[in-house]
């Protein structure tokens, strides 16, 4: 029987699908420092992870039984993919399964920003009963997102899903991607009608200068932040920025400086430079809407991720 360790968890549907096809699945989390030993003792042939577990060269070299490494999600920067492939190990991920969930979180942060929910949710429990009128006045300058321009940097699956929702909300869309020159955005409605829009990507400077809000959907391929002081300087004064992709894409020091100086009005962050120990200064900043890396953490996305991983594993071993 082929044994699978889903070290960062897997949906019940994923487990059920694998077990019905003769696989053994353990979803018990093993701490990183004990992972190599446990894999070798239990003779796991498949290791499934999300963002918490790291699969580096040392683990790959030390666990010769491993035949498949799977990432429940899109980015695989916590896996030494090229090295694993060079050792004949199949590496899989689930690029489509979480797109909708991440895109919806973008708008959760966006609405939180423009209506100051991130701030009022912190202060209403403290002074809502005694300073209700003062708080009402301080949050009375919210804006509508309809008619505003959303700049999407990274126009792959998630970026395009964000574009669908933005268009549906009446926003203008600008997009930048080094590899995607144009994309057909198909929007399906509840009554089975649909409409298509063609979006042509622009250069980064144009998108930064002409957007009211920026949302990032990029892998972190470089040590240097993609959005630093120079890029923030190109943005509109009073703009907002959202990152639900990878920590380190935004220079957090430059971001906080821009917020403090009111170059940017607000930010929404789901990912951070130093996960799982983000900067306390970021966490305490009063102009940032915060979530703890939950972009794909919906029940629906987890079901799709588990099923997609299961189907790829079954196909691989059947072949």
CATH number at residue 26: 3.40.50.720
Q: For the whole model, what pTM was predicted?
A: 0.89
Check if the beta carbon of residue 82 is closer than 8 Å to that of residue 56.
no
Residue 276 DSSP class:
T
Residue 190 dihedral angles phi and psi, to the nearest 5°: -60, -30
The SS3 assignment for 268 reads: strand
| Spatial separation of the C-alpha atoms in residues 134 and 155, rounded to whole Å | 41
Buried b (16+ CB within 10 A) or exposed e, 5-40: bbbbbbbeebbebbeeeebebbbeebeeeebbebbe
Q: Return the active site residues.
A: 246, 275, 293
Query: What's the Rg (C-alpha) of the chain?
Result: 22
Q: What is residue 220's predicted lDDT score, i.e. its pLDDT?
A: 67
Same domain, 151 and 103: yes
Same domain, 164 and 308: no
| Overall number of domains in the chain | 2
CB under 8 Å to 208, separation ≥6 — which residues?
151, 214, 231, 234, 235
| Spatial separation of the C-alpha atoms in residues 85 and 212, rounded to whole Å | 42
Same domain, 10 and 112: no
Same domain, 191 and 276: yes
Q: What is residue 75's predicted lDDT score, i.e. its pLDDT?
A: 80
| Spatial separation of the C-alpha atoms in residues 12 and 25, rounded to whole Å | 11
* Tokens 């959303």 -> residue: 150
Same domain, 113 and 12: no
Q: Are strands 194-200 and 182-188 parallel, antiparallel or unpaired?
A: antiparallel
Alpha-carbon distance values, 212 to 145, 174, 242, 292, 305 (Å)? 9, 10, 11, 25, 33
Token reading at 88: 């004949």
Identify which of 104, 197, 110 has the alpha carbon closest to the alpha carbon of residue 149. Answer: 110
Same domain, 89 and 121: no
Same domain, 80 and 131: no
Same domain, 157 and 262: yes
Query: pLDDT digit of tens for each residue in the chain (319 aa)?
Result: 999 999 999 999 999 999 999 999 999 999 999 999 999 999 999 999 998 899 999 999 999 999 999 999 888 889 999 999 999 999 999 988 999 999 999 999 999 999 999 999 999 999 999 999 999 999 999 999 999 999 999 999 999 999 999 999 999 999 999 999 999 999 999 999 999 999 999 999 999 999 999 999 997 666 789 999 999 999 999 999 999 999 999 999 999 999 999 999 999 999 999 988 999 999 999 999 999 999 999 999 999 999 999 999 999 999 8
Same domain, 155 and 222: yes
Q: What is residue 223's predicted lDDT score, i.e. its pLDDT?
A: 73
Same domain, 245 and 307: no
Burial of 205 (0-12, 13-18, 19+ CB in 10 A): exposed
* Tokens 């063609």 -> residue: 198
Domain of 144?
A: 99-290
Helical H segments across 43-72, by residue range:
57-62
Same domain, 170 and 273: yes
Same domain, 155 and 256: yes
The C-alpha angle with vertex 273 and arms to 267 and 279, in degrees rounded to 5, equals 75
């Amino acid at each position: 029987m082929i044994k699978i360790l889903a070290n960062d968890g897997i949906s019940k549907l994923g487990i059920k699908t694998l077990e019905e096809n003769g696989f053994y699945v353990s979803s018990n989390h093993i701490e990183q420092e004990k992972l190599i030993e446990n894999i070798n003792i239990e003779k796991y042939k498949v290791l499934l992870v999300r963002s918490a577990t790291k699969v580096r060269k040392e683990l790959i070299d030390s666990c010769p039984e491993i035949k498949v490494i799977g990432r429940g999600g899109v980015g695989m920067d916590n896996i030494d993919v090229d090295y694993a492939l060079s050792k004949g190990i199949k590496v899989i991920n689930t690029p489509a399964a979480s797109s909708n969930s991440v895109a919806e979180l973008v708008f959760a942060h966006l609405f939180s920003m423009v209506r100051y929910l991130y701030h009022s949710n912190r202060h209403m429990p403290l002074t809502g009963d005694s300073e209700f009128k003062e708080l009402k006045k301080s949050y009375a300058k919210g804006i509508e997102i309809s008619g505003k321009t959303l700049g999407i940097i990274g126009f792959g699956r998630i970026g395009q899903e964000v574009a669908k929702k933005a268009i549906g909300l009446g926003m203008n869309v600008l997009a930048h991607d080094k590899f995607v020159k144009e994309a057909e955005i198909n929007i399906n409605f509840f009554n089975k009608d649909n409409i298509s829009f063609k979006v042509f990507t622009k250069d980064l400077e144009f998108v930064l200068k002409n957007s009211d809000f920026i949302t990032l959907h990029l892998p972190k391929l470089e040590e240097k932040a993609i959005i630093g002081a120079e890029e923030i300087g190109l943005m509109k004064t009073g703009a907002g920025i959202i990152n639900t992709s990878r920590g380190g894409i935004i220079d957090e020091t430059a971001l906080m400086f821009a917020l403090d100086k009111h170059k940017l009005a607000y930010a929404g962050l789901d990912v951070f430079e130093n996960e799982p120990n983000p900067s306390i200064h970021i966490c305490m900043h009063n102009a940032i809407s915060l979530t703890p890396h939950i972009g794909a953490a919906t029940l629906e996305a987890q079901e799709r991720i588990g099923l997609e991983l299961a189907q790829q594993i079954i196909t691989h071993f059947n072949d």
